[in-house]
Each structure stands twice: as C-alpha cells, then as structure tokens.
C-alpha cells in the first residue's frame, strides 16, 4: 500500500469517527388525533452509551419503533452511519445494523436457542440446515454474552433474563452497530441486572453503540454517558450525564402542562363511599392494597406503564382473577368473580384497548350502545328494535357522538367518538362506579375536553369514578385525589391541594429505586 | 321551514335505502347467482325446467339445508362443527331402532323416535360446546373427535348393520308432496330455516351470537357469559343434526351407521357460499339456504348436462372458492360505502 493511500484512508477513518452514528433531524410523527413526536433533533455519537428518558407518552416508543423500522416518520430525516435511513420494515432496519430489543421479547419460543440466534441466516448445505455448524456458532455467541445454556435448549424453557441475553446475542451475531434496549431491566433481578451491565460494558469496549431506555433512573449512570430527554413528543435536551443528578433529570422530564381546567372537580361534593377495596392482592405474593372512591369523587391512578395499574382495575372488575381482597359497592360487600358479577353490582370498566376489548367494531352504533343491558330493550327474549333505536339515539345525542346514523358501524368512527360509544354503553347500563383505563389515549384535544366534561357530569350525578391515565397533567386537572402506583403497590396518595408533578413522579419511581438497594 | 323538512325527509329516505341495501347485499349477491345458475341450466340442460326435476332437487336439498342451518349458528360465533355428519348417522340408527321396535305402537314409536333423535343430537352438540368451553379448546379438534365417537357409537347401536322396516304411516308422511312440487321433508327444512332466521334476527340470543362472533372479549367485558351462548350454539347444531336424521329416515326409510359421511363438509360449503364469514360475526341463515340451493342445483344441472361424475366435484369445488373470493369484494364494497358515509 502506498503512503498517500494509507494517509487518505486514515483521514477517512477520522472523518468517519466524527460523524455521529445516528442523527435525527426535525423528526415528526402524527397518529390520528395526536402528535406523537414533533420536531425532534439529536445525535448519538459512535460508541456512546446513550440513554433515552421521558414520561409515559413522551414519545419514546414511537421513536424506538421508527428506529426499528416498525413506523415511518411523517416529517424530518434520520441519518444512520452517514447515510439517509428510512427502513420500510423491521427487516430493513436490522439489515442496516440497528437491533431493537423490545420489552416484550420477540423470540420463537418453540425453537431452540441456536435456531433463534441464527434464524435470519441459518447455515445450510444443499438447502438442508447444517445443525452442527449452527450450534457451533450459537455456542460462540452465547459465550460472548456469558449465557451458560446449551444451544439446543428450547427457548420456552429459559427464564426472562436468559431470553433477554439471547436477544442481545442475536444482535451480536449480526454485528449490529446500534443496539436499542427498551427497559431491559424491568423484569430482572439485581444480580441479573449486574450481569447485563457487565455485558453492555463489554459490548461498548468492542465499539457497539447502545440506546438505553429505562424507568430506573439510578441505573442509567451505570450504562450511559449521554442522555436525551423527551417531553410531550418534543426534544427537551441531549447532554452529557456527568454532573446531572436524578432530581435534575426529573425536573427535565416533568413540566408538561395542560389547558387550564380551572377548579374542574374540586367543586363537586364528595358523598359517602361508592367503591371500597380492602386487602386486594393480585397474586399470592403481591402486595396488599386498599383504597376507596367516594360518591361524586374522581380518583386518579398514576404510575409508570407496567406499575400494575391496569392489572388492578381489571382484577377489580373480575376480568382477571385475583388472589384476595374485599370489595364494597355503596357500602355493600360484593363478590366479584367475573365481569358479569361486576356489572350486576353496578361496577363497570372502560378498558384501555377500546377496539380490542370495548367495541363490536363491525356492528352498529345502536347494537354497541345496548350490548350491556339487552334486557332493557327486549320483551321475553325478543328484541324491541324501536326501543333500542330510541335509547341509542338519546345517548348519541346526549354524548354528542358525531355519526350520520345509529346504524353506522362503529369501525368507521374516530377515536373520540368510539370512546363516547364505550361510555354510552355503560351509561345505558346505569352503573354506580365507573373505571376508565386511559380514557383519552389516541383522542384529539377537542374530544378529550368533551370526555373530561362527561366525567365531571357523571361525578356530579353521584357516581364514583376511577381514572387510570399515563397523562399526569390530565389527572391533575380532573381528579379530586391521585393514587400513585409504583411496582404493584400504592406508593403514595396525593390530595388535590397538594398536586405537584415532582411529588407524584417521585412516588411513581419510588419502588424502582428500592429494588436496586436491596 | 319546509326546506328543512324536505332535507330531513330526503336524509331519512336515503338512510332507509342504504340500510335496505346493506341488509340485502349480504343475500342479494348469492341469490342473483342462484337465479343465474338456474336460468343457465333451464336453457341448456334437458329436463331441468320440469316440475319433476325441481321436486327432485327439493328432496335432495332437505338434509343439507337442515344441517347447514344449525351450522350457521356455530360458524357465526366463530366456531366450526365437523361432527354433524356422524351425529346424523348416530341419530338415524337410534331413531330407526325405536321406530322398528315391535312392542310399541306406531304412534308411540314415532313420537319416541322423534324425541330420541333430537335429544341425541342436542346432547352430542352440547358435549361439543361444553368441552370446547371448559378446556378452551378449538372446536375444530373437539368436533373432529366427536365425528369419530358418534360414528363408532352408531356402529355399536346398530350392530354394524342398516335398520329398515319403518312403520307405514312414517314412510307415507315422508312421501307426502304438497302442491305437486314441495315434498314434506323440504317443508320441514324450510321451517327449520325460518325458525333459525327468526332466532338470529329477532331474539336477544341471536344478537349475542353475532356479538360473540364479532368480539367475544368485548361481550365478556360487557358483563355477559359468552361461554353459555357458545355452548347453546353447538347444541343447536347438534339438534339440527337430529332433525336432519329424522329427514333422512323420512326420505330413505333406513337407519344406517354409515349415513352422513361427508355431510358436514356440504353443510359448511352451503354456509360459506351463503356469505357467512368463517371467522364469525357476519352472515345470515337465508344466505345459507341459498347456498345449499346453489350446491344442489349445480350438482343436478351438471348431471342432466351429461357431465361425468368426476367433473362434478371439480366444478363444485371451484364454485366454493369463487364464492369466498367474491365475498371479499362484496365486503370491500360495503366498507367503502360505509366509510364514505362516515366521513360526512
């Protein structure tokens, strides 16, 4: 090799090292009715341990899904490794060198570890899988991540931590340049977490860049050197982690505001107990929890995604089994083993998954509004369509559902109108306590305000209302009181007079910190 | 004022028109297809357009129509019932054994046989449904098991032989023809379809059948017990297999353990051609009747055209697949119509 060629290639290498591995420029993403990301720009340096932080709904998942090729940005551009990056599918992302390890692992559980590791490029001879070669290469990869299992082990027999390591080994196998880890430690024990960090350090030494997402703030110092904070779909800052304390980070994450709702709920008088829960346990060894909701009271449940909010309300409603717990509705102790029992006692749940669990999408608006109480629109088992249509029209008018006709299939409705149909079907039943799980997710601002107004009206009518939401400012605007869940227990309870984002968030993070200390 | 009233009237009439269109679209397509096929054979096949031929078609259609009517309930909930053919066989031998019992008078034996046929069928169906729901198993597997079990039981009950010598009044009723063209067994089949249509269209139970096929979890979380409804749907399918067994006895006057082989597939074909979605939630029993007619008309027409026996299944198979392909286009059209309306 000639001298000047050598110099040139050195210069190229130096320039190469200076260009960031990943660069986002004014990236935006909209979903019907919501802006998930707006004008986000930041860079990730080569070999960095980059941490991505933000509250629920700040846009982290959208960003990760874009990098992983599951979503495409509406605006802006992404550069990866010096070239424009716009993967149309996860496969393209993976070929470009970005590997995303999602929180829900994507392994083929009935295949062996080796088959999973080398699935995209099974070593073969004449179209037949070369098992010896496959297992040999898999063993190498497993050794690299320090996972001591035979390559022939079926994945379904591994623990969660081991599966996570298999996913990481998979990233190594394809020499990924960027490894994206979405809350990898959420389900790991302290020892497993230490092991994971050790491996991440080893990878870093080998030059692999990582983008790390976690709710456990204290652990990000162990894996990251830089941090990017998102808030409400917008970029807040990207900076070095050194000199940045946990309180500073929380400060950066909060501060989102919502249009002033005034004294939204404070003026609604709270009567006697509508819902009382004592000693509720989801499983035999989960913590006990007790709380109550008064008549006319709107109680919020805040907490991080995965903190057990949805699980608790589903168990209350009888949708999932519970291990123990007594439930009172308007002072009367009730036995709830199924949604049927719950509804019979006047307790109802508007689930977070409207389309999958709340609505009969292909059926009409009228049929959806009356499904909760067909006895009301029938006589000796025969449907009285006139009664049904009148009832449905009344609710559609009352809730201001925008539809040309009550015979329209609810599939064609917007998110806001679909949510109104879910509320309508419960109003048709006439419950005493209503639980809403993420009532405004994916709904545009105008419809959100209408939903809030409905909640207020229900409370004024003396119903007990429990609202689960990832949108903290929303809860602070509409609730009398907020229960903060952290890792399956109630970490704190904040009355309206003491509402404060910092306080609520520190409750939400509370249990996650403790686990590390143990 | 009058302008507003005029507008409202127009809107109302257009909504009515679109509703009618939506309701009838489901059956209109297949009905038109049936009419075209009948016209085609009337023009080309000798003897097709004779009352004797139509009588023959009505006779042949009865069993499949009854089975398919019950099958519609199960498929609407998103399940499938593969056992109806052999449950029919079991019911025919049970029925025939009772009617040929010489210790009983003709009247008593026929009544008892009727009840036993329906009871046996309903019991088999109920077991299908209960096992599916109790252990959350796919109905495909459970009813496949029942297919074999009922077939085996039929051999045991009949001692592996056909049972003949049914009482005279019974045989006479089976040969009855109304208005020169409608055989008694076809009238029974029509009655079953009519009752099924009424149940699906006008009862709370019928509403649940559609709702469960659309989104079972949503029905459960609305405070209902979908399992009971699904078990009932299977029971209805078993019950119609029992009724179909009575029709079989009326038509062929023998109970046979090898009756009904492959009937389940004809019934499923009739339901699917009739526009009911295999994934549940959409369809109609009138469509099923039309579907059963199409299958039989094709079979008879091809025979009269002199087609070889080997060609018939090829044509019928093609028609089944074609019907489902056309169904996807129809659904697209209906969706487009609705979405256009939803935007307004």
Q: Could you tell me if A60 and A52 are in contact, meaning their C-beta atoms sit under 8 angstroms apart?
A: yes
The pLDDT assigned to B290 comes to: 96
The pLDDT assigned to A516 comes to: 43
The Cα B264–Cα B320 span in angstroms is 14
The pLDDT assigned to B93 comes to: 97
Average pLDDT over all residues of chain A = 86
- When computed from its CA atoms, the radius of gyration of chain B, rounded to whole angstroms, is 22
**Across A79-95, average pLDDT:** 89
- Mind listing the pLDDT tens digit for each residue in B119-159? 999 999 999 999 999 999 999 999 999 999 999 999 999 99
The pLDDT assigned to B1 comes to: 42
User: Do residue A381 and residue B211 have CB atoms under 8 angstroms apart?
Assistant: no
**Across A259-287, average pLDDT:** 80
In this predicted structure, the answer to whether residue B92 has a pLDDT above a threshold of 90 is yes
Q: Give B217's contacts in chain A (Cβ within 8 Å).
A: 356-357
pLDDT-derived band at B344 (thresholds 50, 70, 90) equals very low
Q: Give B206's contacts in chain A (Cβ within 8 Å).
A: 383
- Mind listing the pLDDT tens digit for each residue in A137-183? 899 888 888 788 899 999 888 887 788 888 888 877 777 889 998 88
User: Do residue A339 and residue B222 have CB atoms under 8 angstroms apart?
Assistant: yes
Q: Could you tell me if A361 and A408 are in contact, meaning their C-beta atoms sit under 8 angstroms apart?
A: no
Q: Minimal Cα–Cα distance from B102 to chain A, Å?
A: 43
- Which residue among B22, B210, B225 sits closest to A340, beta carbon to beta carbon? B225
pLDDT-derived band at A215 (thresholds 50, 70, 90) equals confident
Nearest residue on chain B to A340, alpha-carbon basis: B223
User: Do residue A412 and residue B341 have CB atoms under 8 angstroms apart?
Assistant: yes
pLDDT-derived band at B272 (thresholds 50, 70, 90) equals very high
Q: Which residues contact A347 (CB under 8 A, 6 or more apart)?
A: A275, A316, A317, A327, A329, A334, A336, A431, A432, A433, A435
What b-and-e string marks burial along B204-220, b requiring 16 or more CB atoms within 10 Å of the CB? bbbbbbbbbbbbbbbbb
**Across A254-275, average pLDDT:** 69
**Across A441-454, average pLDDT:** 81
User: Do residue B207 and residue A383 have CB atoms under 8 angstroms apart?
Assistant: yes
Average pLDDT over all residues of chain B = 90
Q: Could you tell me if B210 and B200 are in contact, meaning their C-beta atoms sit under 8 angstroms apart?
A: yes
The pLDDT assigned to B163 comes to: 95
Q: Which residues contact B157 (CB under 8 A, 6 or more apart)?
A: B90, B93, B94, B97, B257
The pLDDT assigned to A122 comes to: 81
pLDDT-derived band at A277 (thresholds 50, 70, 90) equals very high
Nearest residue on chain B to A343, alpha-carbon basis: B223
Is B344's Cβ below 8 Å from some Cβ in A? yes
**Across A319-327, average pLDDT:** 94
Q: Minimal Cα–Cα distance from A394 to chain B, Å?
A: 17
DSSP A288: P
Question: Which has the higher per-residue pLDDT, A127 or B186?
Answer: B186
**Across A288-312, average pLDDT:** 91
The pLDDT assigned to B332 comes to: 79
- Which residue among B204, B214, B217 sits closest to A363, beta carbon to beta carbon? B214
**Across A12-23, average pLDDT:** 72
Q: Give A405's contacts in chain B (Cβ within 8 Å).
A: 15, 341
Pick the CATH number of A2-97+176-254 from 3.40.50.300, 3.30.1330.10, 3.40.50.1980, 3.30.420.40: 3.40.50.300
User: Do residue B208 and residue A374 have CB atoms under 8 angstroms apart?
Assistant: yes
Determine whether B279 is exposed, middle or buried from the number of CB atoms within 10 Å of its CB (0-12, 13-18, 19+): exposed
User: Do residue B222 and residue A407 have CB atoms under 8 angstroms apart?
Assistant: no
The pLDDT assigned to B6 comes to: 59
The Cα B131–Cα A161 span in angstroms is 37
CB pairs under 8 A between A and B: 95
Q: Minimal Cα–Cα distance from B103 to chain A, Å?
A: 42
pLDDT-derived band at B170 (thresholds 50, 70, 90) equals very high
In this predicted structure, the answer to whether residue A224 has a pLDDT above a threshold of 60 is yes
- Which residue among B215, B219, B223 sits closest to A361, beta carbon to beta carbon? B215
The Cα B74–Cα B278 span in angstroms is 10
pLDDT-derived band at A518 (thresholds 50, 70, 90) equals very low
Is B15's Cβ below 8 Å from some Cβ in A? yes
In this predicted structure, the answer to whether residue A6 has a pLDDT above a threshold of 60 is no
Q: Give B207's contacts in chain A (Cβ within 8 Å).
A: 367, 371, 374, 383
DSSP letters for B200-227? HHHBHHHHHHHHHHHHHHHHHHTT--HH
Is B56's Cβ below 8 Å from some Cβ in A? no
Maximum CA extent, chain A? 96
The Cα B142–Cα B129 span in angstroms is 9
How many C-beta neighbours within 10 Å does residue A498 have?
Answer: 11
In this predicted structure, the answer to whether residue A10 has a pLDDT above a threshold of 60 is no
pLDDT-derived band at A242 (thresholds 50, 70, 90) equals confident
Nearest residue on chain A to B204, alpha-carbon basis: A381
The Cα B304–Cα B290 span in angstroms is 21
User: Do residue A404 and residue B15 have CB atoms under 8 angstroms apart?
Assistant: yes
- Mind listing the pLDDT tens digit for each residue in A358-379? 999 999 999 999 999 999 999 9
Query: Which of A50-64, A296-310, B227-241, B316-330 reaches the highest mean pLDDT?
Result: B227-241
- Which residue among A338, A381, A404 sits closest to B205, beta carbon to beta carbon? A381
Q: Give B281's contacts in chain A (Cβ within 8 Å).
A: 362-363
Nearest residue on chain B to A361, alpha-carbon basis: B214
What percent of chain B is predicted at pLDDT more than 70? Answer: 90
Determine which of A15-19, A385-389, A511-515, B103-107 has the lowest per-residue pLDDT on average: A511-515
Is B225's Cβ below 8 Å from some Cβ in A? yes
User: Do residue A372 and residue B215 have CB atoms under 8 angstroms apart?
Assistant: no
User: Do residue A367 and residue B281 have CB atoms under 8 angstroms apart?
Assistant: no
User: Do residue A343 and residue B222 have CB atoms under 8 angstroms apart?
Assistant: yes
User: Do residue B218 and residue A357 have CB atoms under 8 angstroms apart?
Assistant: yes
Q: Which of A478, A489, A480 is nearest to A512 (CA)?
A: A489
In this predicted structure, the answer to whether residue A196 has a pLDDT above a threshold of 90 is no
The Cα A515–Cα A117 span in angstroms is 31
A273-510: CATH topology: Rossmann fold (3.40.50)
The pLDDT assigned to B224 comes to: 96
In this predicted structure, the answer to whether residue A195 has a pLDDT above a threshold of 60 is yes
Range(s) for CATH 3.40.50.300 in chain A? 2-97+176-254, 273-510
Give SS3 for A179: strand
**Computed from CA positions of residues A108, A113, A119, A123, in that sequence, does the dihedral angle turn out positive or negative?**
negative
Best mutation target, B13, B221, B333, to test chain A (most A CBs within 10 A): B221
**Across A230-248, average pLDDT:** 86
What percent of chain A is helix, strand and coil (3-state, nearest 5)? Answer: 40, 25, 35
pLDDT-derived band at A322 (thresholds 50, 70, 90) equals very high
pLDDT-derived band at A304 (thresholds 50, 70, 90) equals confident
Q: Where are the domains of chain B?
A: 61-282
A332 token code pair: 């009367």
């Amino acid at each position: 090799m000639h001298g000047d060629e050598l110099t040139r290639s050195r210069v190229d290498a130096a320039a190469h090292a200076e260009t960031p591995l990943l660069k986002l420029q004014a990236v935006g993403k909209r979903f019907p009715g919501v802006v998930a990301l707006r004008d986000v720009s930041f860079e990730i340096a080569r070999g960095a341990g980059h941490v991505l932080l933000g509250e629920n709904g700040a846009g982290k998942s959208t960003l990760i899904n874009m990098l992983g090729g599951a979503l495409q940005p509406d605006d802006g551009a992404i550069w990866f490794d010096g070239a424009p990056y716009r993967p149309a599918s996860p496969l393209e992302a993976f070929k470009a060198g970005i590997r995303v390890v999602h929180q829900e692992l994507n392994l083929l559980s009935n295949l062996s570890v080796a088959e999973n590791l080398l699935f995209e490029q099974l070593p073969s001879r004449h179209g037949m899988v070369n098992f010896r070669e496959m297992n040999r290469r898999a063993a190498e990869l497993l050794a690299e991540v320090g996972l001591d299992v035979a390559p022939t082990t079926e994945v379904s027999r591994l623990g969660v931590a081991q599966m996570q390591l298999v996913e990481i080994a998979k990233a190594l196998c394809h020499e990924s340049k960027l490894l994206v880890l979405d809350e990898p430690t959420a389900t790991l024990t302290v020892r497993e977490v230490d092991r994971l960090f050790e491996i991440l350090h080893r990878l870093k030494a080998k030059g692999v860049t990582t983008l790390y997402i976690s709710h456990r703030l204290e652990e990000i110092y162990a894996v990251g050197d830089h941090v990017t904070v998102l808030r409400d779909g917008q970029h807040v800052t990207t900076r070095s982690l050194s000199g940045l304390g946990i309180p500073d980070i929380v400060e950066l994450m909060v501060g989102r505001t919502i249009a002033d709702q005034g004294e939204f709920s404070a003026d609604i008088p709270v009567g006697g107990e509508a819902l009382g829960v004592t000693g509720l346990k989801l499983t035999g060894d989960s913590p006990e929890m007790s709380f109550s909701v008064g008549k006319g009271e709107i109680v919020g449940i805040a907490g991080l995604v995965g903190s057990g909010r949805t699980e608790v309300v589903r168990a209350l409603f009888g949708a999932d089994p519970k291990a123990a717990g007594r439930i009172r509705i308007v002072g009367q102790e009730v036995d709830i083993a199924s949604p049927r029992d719950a509804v019979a006692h006047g307790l109802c749940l508007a689930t977070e998954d409207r389309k999958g669990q709340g609505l009969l999408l292909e059926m009409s608006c009228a049929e959806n509004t009356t499904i909760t109480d067909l006895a009301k629109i029938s006589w000796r088992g025969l449907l009285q369509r006139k009664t049904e249509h009148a009832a449905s029209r009344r609710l559609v008018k009352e809730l201001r559902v925008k539809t040309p006709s009550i015979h329209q299939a609810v599939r064609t409705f917007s998110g806001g109108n679909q949510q109104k149909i879910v509320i309508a079907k419960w109003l048709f039943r006439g419950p005493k306590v209503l639980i809403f799980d993420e009532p405004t997710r994916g709904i545009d601002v105008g419809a959100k305000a209408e939903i809030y107004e409905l909640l207020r009206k229900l409370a004024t009518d003396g119903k007990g209302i429990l609202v689960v939401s990832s949108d903290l400012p929303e809860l602070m605007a509409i609730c009398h009181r907020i229960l903060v869940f952290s890792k399956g227990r109630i970490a704190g309870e904040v009355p309206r007079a003491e509402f404060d984002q910092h306080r609520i968030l520190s409750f939400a993070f509370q249990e996650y910190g403790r686990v590390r200390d143990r | 004022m009058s302008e507003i009233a005029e507008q409202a009237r127009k809107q109302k009439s257009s909504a009515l028109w679109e509703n009618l269109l939506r309701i009838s679209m489901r059956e209109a397509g297949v009905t038109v297809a049936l009419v075209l096929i009948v016209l085609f054979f009337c023009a080309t096949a000798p003897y097709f357009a004779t009352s004797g031929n139509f009588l023959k078609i009505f006779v042949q259609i009865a069993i499949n129509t009854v089975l398919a009517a019950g099958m519609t309930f199960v498929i609407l909930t998103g399940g499938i019932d593969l056992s109806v053919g052999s449950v029919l066989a079991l019911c025919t031998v049970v029925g025939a054994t009772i009617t040929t019992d010489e210790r009983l008078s003709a009247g008593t034996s026929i009544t008892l046989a009727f009840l036993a046929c329906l009871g046996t069928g309903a019991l088999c169906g109920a077991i299908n449904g209960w096992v599916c729901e109790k252990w959350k198993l796919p109905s495909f597997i459970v009813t496949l098991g029942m297919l074999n079990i009922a077939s085996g039981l039929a051999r045991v009950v009949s001692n592996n032989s056909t049972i003949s010598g049914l009482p005279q009044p019974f045989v006479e009723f089976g040969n009855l023809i109304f208005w020169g063209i409608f055989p008694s067994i076809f009238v029974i089949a029509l009655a079953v379809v009519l009752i099924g249509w009424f149940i699906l269209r006008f009862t709370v139970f019928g509403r649940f059948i559609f709702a469960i096929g659309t989104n079972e979890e949503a029905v459960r979380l609305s405070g209902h017990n979908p399992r009971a409804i699904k078990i009932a749907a299977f029971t209805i399918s078993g019950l119609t297999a029992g009724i179909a067994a009575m029709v079989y006895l009326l038509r062929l006057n023998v109970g046979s353990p090898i009756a009904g082989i492959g009937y389940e597939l004809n019934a499923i074909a009739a339901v699917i051609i009739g526009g009911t979605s295999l994934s549940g939630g959409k369809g109609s029993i009138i469509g099923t009747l039309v579907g059963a007619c199409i299958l039989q008309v094709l079979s008879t027409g091809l025979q009269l055209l002199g087609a070889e026996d080997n060609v018939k299944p090829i044509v019928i198979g093609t028609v089944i697949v074609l019907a489902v392909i056309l169904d996807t286009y129809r659904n697209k059209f209906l969706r487009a119509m609705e979405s256009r309306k939803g935007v307004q």
